[in-house]
């Protein structure tokens, strides 16, 4: 059995020597396809006895990779990059591993350790598909993040080499390289997307690339597009959920979205313990403590039995398990104290009630806590301050974001405005019109659209002072509803002239029966006076 090692390179003189040296005596031939080096890359390759071929770079990794495959003569092909190498003595296990695990398969996967040389940190251990049986129809697809195929189909006959027998190191993700690589990858991925014939995995790679470039909005967009397609039969397919959940966890105002993502993650990847632990956190934030305990136990059981499977790495450690166990014990106590209405309803078979509680518990309890915090602000006693600290610790994520925005500790965005508009009627029911005035400074930071939505809720509560203050500086671009709400508030405050002016402005923007009725009502009131 012959083994060929295949490289594609360009200006890799700084790293190629170590990679080639790590393969000494482990393979039968080395194929190096150079795509336009201007340094000593070719000379270094020749020094190690490699067969060097030249192929002009075409912004397509698969094109270059396939040239290297065409030059190989081995029965098996080991695909290596210049920034990858095998730890000392490890490469000698390549041939025995192929003989042991490769008899009835066309692809062998083994562990690769991502290593940041700048910081000296291990970033991730994940499996890679780098040992390929040389067969008819073997070729790579994809200009970037190229994937091996056989006659255009995913290679399904595969086996895993245990990481104790074979592992490769990768240093290509040092911090100084991330930006330039990400921008290059993004351009190639977008070109593939625009081609009209992208791979099924294109959204996953776009989410990963935008995440690396710190563009959260685009990373979330493509992550959702990817997970909605379901689980894919590729290595580390769960990476999109990892990106999605990590970003959403940073934004408490997007709690519902985070909860949906974690619920989907445990459904698509039930073998990954950290997804169950993340889902447990979301359930607990919604006061569903018994369900959170169940998910925590699942996570711990999976960890105890061996995390993940051959294609899905897991970052769940003993330290993580200890933390999850501690959280689970706290949730068990809270459930026993009767704070888990969801669990009680489910236990009685009241599924409709349980579902309603699961959807509404966080908002119901959260609005009460938020309202309580507003009411306690005027009390400077130590007892009140202690109660406020405790109440703040219990706020569910969306309410926590709203409270922090109110306190000026985080900026107001469209999601916070939407949450306030939805929950303001309930909050006003607790704090009354006087309490609504406390929100004046917060509303001043809202967009015009957000202020109109808040004014609508304040109108329902008849908090006319607050409505008037909220809309008093309307600009010419405001819509009909904004001026109509302002007209109603001015009338209720006794300013009939102002009310008429705003009603007429509303009718000018968009005539409506509702505005006309207000004007008639205003006229009748004037006659009665």
Q: Domain holding 41: CATH number?
A: 3.90.550.10
Q: Give the domain-ending residue among 336, 357, 379.
A: 336
Residues 190 and 223 in one domain: yes
Written as six digits, the tokens of 358 are 């699961």
Residues 518 and 398 in one domain: no
pLDDT at residue 345 tops 60 = no
Residues 332 and 207 in one domain: yes
* CATH number, domain containing residue 229: 1.25.40.10
* CATH number, domain containing residue 503: 1.25.40
Residues 409 and 344 in one domain: yes
Count of CB atoms within 10 A of residue 508's CB? 11
pLDDT top residue among 254 and 322: 322
Q: What is the pLDDT of residue 10?
A: 95
Residues 32 and 155 in one domain: yes
Question: What is the SS3 assignment for 140?
Answer: strand
* Rounded (10°) angle between helices 414-436 and 351-376: 60
Q: Name the band, by pLDDT with cuts 50, 70 and 90, for residue 97.
A: very high
Residues 215 and 318 in one domain: yes
DSSP 196: T
CA dihedral 287, 291, 294, 295 (to 10 degrees): -80
Q: What is the pLDDT of residue 446?
A: 86
Longest CA pairwise span in the chain (Å) = 105
What percent of the chain is modeled with pLDDT above 70?
88
Q: Name the band, by pLDDT with cuts 50, 70 and 90, for residue 459.
A: confident
**pLDDT tens, residue by residue, 225-274:** 999 988 887 778 899 999 999 999 888 778 889 999 999 999 999 999 99
Q: What is the pLDDT of residue 347?
A: 46
Residues of the domain holding 355: 340-470
Q: Name the band, by pLDDT with cuts 50, 70 and 90, for residue 434.
A: low
pTM tops 0.85, yes or no = no
Question: What is the SS3 assignment for 308?
Answer: coil
Q: What is the pLDDT of residue 279?
A: 94
Least confident of 52-66, 121-135, 335-349: 335-349
Q: CA 384 to CA 391: how far, in whole Å?
A: 10
Residues 116 and 181 in one domain: no
Q: What is the pLDDT of residue 343?
A: 45
pLDDT top residue among 22 and 381: 22
Q: What is the pLDDT of residue 48?
A: 96
DSSP 234: S
Least confident of 44-53, 80-89, 494-503: 494-503
Written as six digits, the tokens of 468 are 């008037």
Residues 11 and 153 in one domain: yes
Residues 279 and 207 in one domain: yes
Q: Name the band, by pLDDT with cuts 50, 70 and 90, for residue 174.
A: low
Number of structural domains (the chain) is: 4
Alpha helices in 23-164 (DSSP H): 41-47, 61-71, 94-101
Q: Give the domain-ending residue among 419, 443, 470.
A: 470
pLDDT at residue 354 tops 50 = no
**Averaged pLDDT score across all residues of the chain:** 84
- Which backbone phi and psi does 337 adopt, to 5 degrees? -80, 5
State mean pLDDT over 144-151. 90
Q: What is the DSSP string of 330-353?
A: HHHHHHHTT--HHHHHHHTT-HHH
Of 439, 446, 524, 449, give the one whose Cα is nearest residue 479: 449
Residues 328 and 229 in one domain: yes
Q: What is the pLDDT of residue 429?
A: 67
Of 495, 508, 446, 492, give the one whose Cα is nearest residue 471: 446
Q: What is the pLDDT of residue 173?
A: 60
- Which backbone phi and psi does 51 adopt, to 5 degrees? -90, 115
pLDDT at residue 145 tops 50 = yes
Q: What is the pLDDT of residue 195?
A: 87
pLDDT at residue 342 tops 60 = no
Q: CA 461 to CA 373: how far, in whole Å?
A: 20
Q: What is the pLDDT of residue 248?
A: 92
Q: Name the band, by pLDDT with cuts 50, 70 and 90, for residue 311.
A: low
Residues 25 and 64 in one domain: yes
Q: Give the domain-ending residue among 336, 356, 385.
A: 336
Q: Name the band, by pLDDT with cuts 50, 70 and 90, for residue 35.
A: very high
The helix or strand, by DSSP H or E, that contains position 372, with its residue range, turns out to be helix 351-376
Residues 206 and 326 in one domain: yes
Q: Name the band, by pLDDT with cuts 50, 70 and 90, for residue 528.
A: very low
pLDDT top residue among 138 and 459: 138
Q: Name the band, by pLDDT with cuts 50, 70 and 90, for residue 339.
A: very low
Count of CB atoms within 10 A of residue 197's CB? 7
């Amino acid at each position: 059995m012959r083994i060929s090692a295949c490289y594609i390179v360009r200006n890799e003189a700084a790293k190629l020597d170590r990679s080639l040296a790590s393969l000494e005596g482990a393979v039968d031939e080395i194929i190096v396809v150079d795509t336009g080096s201007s340094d000593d890359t070719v000379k270094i390759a020749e020094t190690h006895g490699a067969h060097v071929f030249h192929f002009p770079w075409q912004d397509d990794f698969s094109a270059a990779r396939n040239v290297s495959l065409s030059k190989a003569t081995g029965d098996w092909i080991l695909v290596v990059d210049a920034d990858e190498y095998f730890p000392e003595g490890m490469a000698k296990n390549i041939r025995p591993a192929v003989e042991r695990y490769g008899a009835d398969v066309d692809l062998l996967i083994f562990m690769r350790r991502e290593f940041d040389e700048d910081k000296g940190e291990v970033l991730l251990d994940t499996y890679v598909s780098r040992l390929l049986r040389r067969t008819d129809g073997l070729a790579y697809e994809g200009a970037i993040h190229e994937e091996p195929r056989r006659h255009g189909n995913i290679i399904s006959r595969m086996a895993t080499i245990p990481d104790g027998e074979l592992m490769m190191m990768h240093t290509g993700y040092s911090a100084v390289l991330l930006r330039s690589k990400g921008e290059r990858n993004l351009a190639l991925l977008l070109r593939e997307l625009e081609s009209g014939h992208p791979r099924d995995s294109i959204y996953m790679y776009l989410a990963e690339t935008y995440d690396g470039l710190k563009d959260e909005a685009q990373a979330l967009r493509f992550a959702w597009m990817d997970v909605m397609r379901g689980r894919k039969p590729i290595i580390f397919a769960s990476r999109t959920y990892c990106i999605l959940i990590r970003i959403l966890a940073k934004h408490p105002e997007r709690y519902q979205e985070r909860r949906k993502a974690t619920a989907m993650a445990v459904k698509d990847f039930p073998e990954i313990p950290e997804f169950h632990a993340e889902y447990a956190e979301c359930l607990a934030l919604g006061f569903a403590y018994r369900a959170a305990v169940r998910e925590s136990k699942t996570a711990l059981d999976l960890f105890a039995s061996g995390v993940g499977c051959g294609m899905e790495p897991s970052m769940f450690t003993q330290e993580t398990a200890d933390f999850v166990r501690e959280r689970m014990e706290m949730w068990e106590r809270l459930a026993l104290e009767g704070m888990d209405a969801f669990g009680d309803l489910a236990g009685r078979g009241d599924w409709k009630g349980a579902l309603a509680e699961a959807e509404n518990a966080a908002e119901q309890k959260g609005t009460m806590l938020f309202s309580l915090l507003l009411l306690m602000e005027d009390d400077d006693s130590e007892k009140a301050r202690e109660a406020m600290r405790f109440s703040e610790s219990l706020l569910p994520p969306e309410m926590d974001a709203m409270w922090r925005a109110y306190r000026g500790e985080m900026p107001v965005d469209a999601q916070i405005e939407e949450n306030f508009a939805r929950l303001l009627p309930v909050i006003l029911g607790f704090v009354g019109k006087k309490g609504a005035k406390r929100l004046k400074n917060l509303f001043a930071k809202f967009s015009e659209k957000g202020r109109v939505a808040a004014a609508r809720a304040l109108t329902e509560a008849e908090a006319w002072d607050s409505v008037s203050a909220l809309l008093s500086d309307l600009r010419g671009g405001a819509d009909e509803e904004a001026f109509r709400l302002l007209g109603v508030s001015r009338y209720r405050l006794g300013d009939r002239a102002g009310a008429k002016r705003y009603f007429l402005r509303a009718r000018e923007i968009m005539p409506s029966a509702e505005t006309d009725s207000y004007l008639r009502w205003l006229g009748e009131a004037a006659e009665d006076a």
